[in-house]
Amino acid sequence: MQTEKGGVLWAVGAYVIWGILPIYWKSLEHVSSAEIIVSRVFWAFIMTLLLVLLMKNGRHLIEDLKSLWKSQRNFWALFFASILVTSNWFIYIWAVNHGHLVQTSLGYYMNPLISVLLGIFFLKEKLSHAQQIAFILAVTGVVILTVSYGEFPWLSLVLAMTFAIYSLVKKQIKLDALRGLTIETMFIAPLAIGYYIWLFMDGSAVFIHLDIKTDILLIFTGAVTAIPLVMFAKGAQQMPLYMVGFLQYISPTIMLFLGVVIYGETFGTIDLLSFSFIWLALLLFTISKVLEVLKMKRSL
């Protein structure tokens, strides 16, 4: 029980950090989203590699790379996953710094539901009646938003889809979370370095050309990427999966609060109605999963 409580604290800490990260990205509004993302990729690679070496797991990292190379399918699947998560990061940072925090939070609310749909199509998983109702409610919420906006909330859907597909691909490849992120960022790091070289040659790079505060913030994009991931991985190992699913709504809830209360983004009656359908869907979905797990435990 004590171990589970510790796991919950680690996971809550990770989700809270992810929830308040928009404040960090907002402090870099004067830097282009492209430069922020290449900084995040490069410094996340450096940070995760250092953590792996400090934890004396360098040998395991090399073994992971050799194992991936032997299975070309897994190697290229992880390469594809690294492109997906980098795309997700870019869209997320662009959305935050262009006043779309509410849509960003909607995307991360939609993510677990999209993940389940992918599980149905690709892993042949089945939904209970309660989960089917949850999907109908969620779709209703999205339809309401679409009608009220006059256009489909593509930003939210792309955020949800890229991360859900990334999670599906990662589920097929058994890798330690920290070493996995090291390899993923290693795949993209050469592109990030190449882009930075071009920025410096073009004279449009902000890094080391503006002020020390901006330089420090850009360097620490690696830390704010790696630290919550390590915390989450540590927490997930010590707590039930259904608890992880329940806690994941902390991040988009904080994002929604920041968008509406702190940054003054629009959130009218129609938005509230739409989000209410989605919140109800998530509540119903989560409760049904918890009941499934408890039922399985009693049958053992």
**Residue-level pLDDT, tens digit, the chain, 300 residues:** 556 667 778 888 888 998 999 999 999 999 998 899 999 999 999 989 998 898 888 899 999 899 989 888 889 998 998 999 899 889 999 998 888 888 888 888 887 778 777 777 776 767 778 878 888 888 888 788 777 767 777 888 899 889 888 878 877 787 877 888 889 889 999 999 999 899 888 888 898 888 999 999 999 998 998 888 778 777 766 766 556 666 778 888 888 889 888 888 888 888 888 888 888 887 887 787 777 767 777 776
How many domains, the chain?
1
The tokens describing 106, both together, are: 């909607």
Residue 49 has a pLDDT of 92
241-259 burial code (b ≥16 CB/10 A, e <16): ebbbbbbbbbbbebbbebb
Q: Which of 179, 224, 277 is nearest to 40 (CA)?
A: 224
For 263, the 3-state DSSP assignment is coil
Determine the Cα–Cα distance for residues 95 and 175; give it in Å rounded to an integer: 30
Residue 237 has a pLDDT of 64
Determine the Cα–Cα distance for residues 61 and 69; give it in Å rounded to an integer: 12
Task: Check: CB of residue 42 under 8 Å from CB of residue 194.
Answer: no
Q: Can you state the percent helix, strand and coil of the chain, rounding each to 5? A: 85, 0, 15
Residue 35 has a pLDDT of 92
Q: Which of 106, 94, 104 is nearest to 40 (CA)?
A: 94
Residue 63 has a pLDDT of 92
Determine the Cα–Cα distance for residues 35 and 292; give it in Å rounded to an integer: 45
Determine the Cα–Cα distance for residues 299 and 293; give it in Å rounded to an integer: 10
Domain hosting residue 221, numbered range: 2-299
Residue 71 has a pLDDT of 87
Q: Which of 231, 221, 237 is nearest to 185 (CA)?
A: 221
pTM of the model as a whole: 0.81
